[in-house]
Structure 1
Amino acid sequence: MAIRVLALDLERTLISDANRADPRPGLSAFLAFCHARFERVVLFTTVEEPDARDALDRLITHNHIPAELLTPLGYVPWVGEHKDLAFVAGAAPEEVLLVDDDAGWVRPDQRDRWIAIEPWDGGADRELARVQHVLAERLEAEGRP
C-alpha cells in the first residue's frame, strides 16, 4: 500500500510544548513539504485537541507560521498505551508514517512506520530538515517523486 498520510507529534517534535508553542526551526518549510507530498497531514499527540489547536493558533497569531500550513492539519483522537496508526481515520496503518520524538508511544509492531526525530526544547536545530530528507527517501523508494 502506498504511503498517503503523515502523522506528526506536536510537543518537542513541531513545537517546544503546548504552553509556550515556540516553533521548531524550519517548521514552515517542513509543513509546506508535508502538505505537498502527502495526501493528508494529521496531528497525533498526547495534547488534547483544544489545547493543540490553541497552540497552533498562537503560531499563526504571532506570525511564526502561515495559517494555510496549520489549519489543514487533522487531529487523531486516540486512547491507550500507544499511538496505534489504526486510529488514523480513512487510512490503513500501512498507509501512514508517524514522526515522533518518543519511541515509547510507538506500537512495537508499527516501528517500521515510525520516523524518529530528536526531541526539541528550544535553540538551534536542523532535525526537521533531516526528517524531511528521510521522508523524501521513503517516498522515492515507493516510486513517488
Structure 2
Amino acid sequence: MAIRVLALDLERTLISDANNANPRPGLSEFLAFCLARFERVVLFTTVEEADARSALDHLVECGHVPAELVDPLGYVPWVGEHKDLAFIVGAAPEEVLFVDDDAGWIRPDQRDRWVAIEPWDGGADRELVRVQHVLAERLAIDNRV
C-alpha cells in the first residue's frame, strides 16, 4: 500500500507545548513540505482538539505559520494506551507515517510506521529539516515498490 497520510504529534514535536505554542524552528517550511507530499496531514496528539486548534490559531495570529498551512490539518480523536494508527479514519495503518518524539505512545507493532524526532522545548534546532529528509526518503522508497 502506498503512503498517503502523515500523522504528526504536536507538543515537543511541532511546538514547545500547547500552553505557550512556541513554533519549532522550520515549522512553516516543514508543514508546506508535508502538505505538498501527502494526501492528508493529521494531528495525532494527547492534546484535546480545542486546545490543539487554539495553539495552532495562536501560531497563525502571531505570524509564525500561515493559515493555509494550518487549516488543512485534520485531528485524530483517540483513547487508550497507544496512538493506534487504526484510529485514522479512511487510511490503513500501512498507508500512514507517524512523526512523534515519544516512543512510549507508539504501538509496538506499528513502530515501522514511526519517524522519531528529538523532543523540543525551545532553542535552536534542525530536527524538522532532518525529519523532512527522512520522510522524503521513505516516500521515494514507497514509490519504487
TM-score range relative to shorter protein: over 0.9
| Aligned positions of 1:1-145 closer than 5 A | 1-143=1-143
CA distance in 1, matches of 2:94, 2:25: 29
Residue segments in structure 1 that go unaligned for 5+ positions in a row: none
List per-residue Cα deviations over 1:108-145 (Å, max 9, x = no partner).
Answer: 0000000000000000000000000000000000227x
Q: Distance in 2 between matches of 1:138 and 1:80?
A: 28
Distance 1:119 1:84 in 2: 20
Q: Secondary structure at the match of 1:120?
A: coil
Whole-Å Cα distance in 1 between the matches of residues 106 and 69 of structure 2?
A: 25
- Aligned mates of 1:135, 1:3 — CA distance in 2: 10
**Distance (Å, rounded) in 2 between the aligned partners of 1:109 and 1:137:** 22
User: What is the CA-CA distance between 1:14 and the residue it aligns to?
Assistant: 0.1
Q: Using the alignment, how far apart are the partners of 2:80 and 2:143 within structure 1?
A: 34
Q: Which amino acid aligns with 1:64?
A: H
TM-score under structure 1 length normalisation: 0.98
Shift of 1:66: 0.2
CA distances 1:45-83 after superposition (whole Å, capped 9, x unpaired) = 000000000000000000000000001100000000000
CA distance in 2, matches of 1:113, 1:143: 16
Q: Could you tell me which runs of 5 or more consecutive residues in structure 2 were left unpaired when the two chains were aligned.
A: none
* Paired-residue identity, %: 83
Normalising by structure 2, what TM-score?
0.98
Question: How far apart are residue 84 of structure 1 and its match?
Answer: 0.1
**When the two structures are aligned, how many residues end up with a matched partner?**
144
Q: Which SS does the other structure have where 1:97 is aligned?
A: strand
What root-mean-square deviation, in Å, do the aligned CA atoms of Structure 1 and Structure 2 show? 0.6
